[in-house]
Amino acid sequence: MMIYSFKIRKSNYITLFLTILFFITTGCVHGQLGVNNSNQYRNGMVVCAYPDAAQVGLDILKKGGNAVDAAVAVQFALTVTHPQAGNIGGGGFMVFRSKSGKTNTLDFREKGPAGASANMYLDSAGNVIPDMSLYTHQASGVPGSVDGMVEAHRKYGKLKWADLVQPAIELARNGFKITKHLASDLNRTKAQFTKLNPGKTYLIKDGDWNEGDVLVQEDLAKTFELIRDKGREGFYDGIVADEIVAEMKSGKGLMTKEDLKNYHSVWRNAITGNYKGYKIITMPPPSSGGIALLQLLQSVEKYPLKRWGYNQDSTVRLVVEAERRVYADRSKYLGDPDFFKVPVDSLLKPAYTASRMSNFSWDAATPSTSIQPGTFVSYESDQTTHYSIVDRDGNAVSITTTLNDSFGSKIFVKGAGFLLNNEMDDFSSKPGVPNMYGLIGGKANSIQPGKRMLSSMTPTIVEKDGKLFMVVGTPGGSTIITSVFQTILNVIEFNQSMQHAVTSKRFHSQWLPDEVTVEKDAIDSATVTKLQGKGYKITTHGTIGRVDAILKTQWGYYEGGADPRGDDTKLGW
């Protein structure tokens, strides 16, 4: 009898042990069993838009680099491997949280050149000239990415600068195998590359690109050698600066050597908010994303989303109504804080949010008061790119960076081998006239020399109980804000694992146009019918956003979410 009961107890221990092991290895702290069980790492993690760039970041972490070192290497590697959005000819934002919980943000957003002016994209009748802010030499803001990386490294880097630039040189010079996505994006853009770069052959091939082709970029390798050897001066002065200015002159572009020399990124205090006990650390203006994200979270906080469930009728309605109001605010109050007094405190007051939501009714959709209807020209998801990185000490970096449209202006700097942004389109060319994302603006975001154009990029870090909890962000133009918002809700409210939260289908609404755009099957057909019955206009769209995120589990493991909508890759160790 004694022996028998001992056997039972022993088997109970074994069962208990196996159960605990299962929960640890599946990381189901945030629910959803069966999603990516081998997705947990102790020492660090990189999640970004291209496999070779993720490998570069991981190698840096393994060599003893910290999250900022890895970020610098990934930024440059993405310029080579993900030319749709990875860049040195564009800009971006970094949100940083140190292992001890100190936070900071770096604004390396592009700036309007000194020759820019409020009406520069208008014809003599005062109408916006189609595509002038998008596919011309005048469409580029002064790039900020190289200065941003130099600054980030100067303040927080551990490894030598040259070691962080070298992998990009090798990828550009030796080439790398392209994915199916990249091949198809290159083929789709071939006509525009050819038209806008007469006599140049960058990224253009006789015939079509195919998956597995090797892409070599020798001019870009040389540019990176100058950046490696001279740092900031390698880009904003000397040969590369001369090449940028020559390129500008060839197409009536505005950027001068003075503009390049005068460009400096800016450290800004993060803006923070709370959502049900979680602390949200995010990007201040000139991003609209941080404020909008905090407003959205505040707008829905008092409602029982968990009980309603993921993408159910009441959840969708509440989220859409919050988005409608927040995007309306964005159009009026947000711009570069160095030029326009953004009423950050007023926008984030709980009483203000409550008053905004007070006319939300369950009877029917609130019609968006139309200034002028916007149209979504495109929601391509690979404009802009985001990467999330954590290191073994617990430092975390959340960076979103962009050329604006996919491949930016599609114009290469001759001899330097990189693409220029078309970020000037993120300014308001004319009050009330929508930009390529259907976003409307006014005085706050008018064009001025030296001013930064308003952005939707929302790199974000979330804390729980004073500890790192999540690193998150995405590309997707105006859908960035809503994709980050929904990913956070997916984890906190709907108990999804990081990968599940990233993979989950999304929907988007932005006041104007007055519609809800949904990914296929994001909302079931019965719910769609109910929503339509209440006055919501639902349109289906291919994909929304490409979220790359990392969760720190309560067991201290990093769990990644790499968006399956693209080539996004998570690597850890």
Contact set with ligand GLY (CB under 6 A): 384, 402, 404, 423, 426, 455-457, 477
Closest contact distance (angstroms) between CB of 561 and ligand GLY is 21
Closer of 455 and 486 to ligand GLY (Cβ): 455
Residues 6+ apart with CB under 8 A from 32: 495, 496, 497, 500
Select the residue whose beta carbon is closest to ligand GLY and give its number.
Answer: 455
Closer of 83 and 477 to ligand GLY (Cβ): 477
Give the rounded distance of the alpha carbon of 139 from its chain centre. 21
Closest contact distance (angstroms) between CB of 359 and ligand GLY is 28
Closest contact distance (angstroms) between CB of 423 and ligand GLY is 6
- The first and second tokens of residue 155, run together, are 């303040």
Burial environment of residue 13 by CB neighbours within 10 A (0 to 12, 13 to 18, 19 or more): exposed
- The first and second tokens of residue 371, run together, are 């200034």
| Residue 286: cis peptide before it, omega within 30 degrees of 0 | yes
**Which among 268, 385, 233, 324 has a CA at the least distance from the CA of 516?**
324
For 343-426, list the strands marked E by DSSP. 385-390, 396-402
Beta strands 396-402 and 385-390 are antiparallel
Catalytic residue set: 384
- The first and second tokens of residue 287, run together, are 């991003």
Closest contact distance (angstroms) between CB of 481 and ligand GLY is 9
Closest contact distance (angstroms) between CB of 422 and ligand GLY is 9
Give the rounded distance of the alpha carbon of 412 from its chain centre. 23
Closer of 426 and 563 to ligand GLY (Cβ): 426
Closer of 402 and 482 to ligand GLY (Cβ): 402
Residue type, 245: V
Q: For residues 254 and 260, what is the distance between their CA atoms, to the nearest angstrom? A: 11
Give the residue carrying structure tokens 């957003």. 109
Beta strands 91-97 and 278-282 are unpaired
Closer of 382 and 426 to ligand GLY (Cβ): 426
Closer of 380 and 563 to ligand GLY (Cβ): 380
Closest contact distance (angstroms) between CB of 445 and ligand GLY is 11
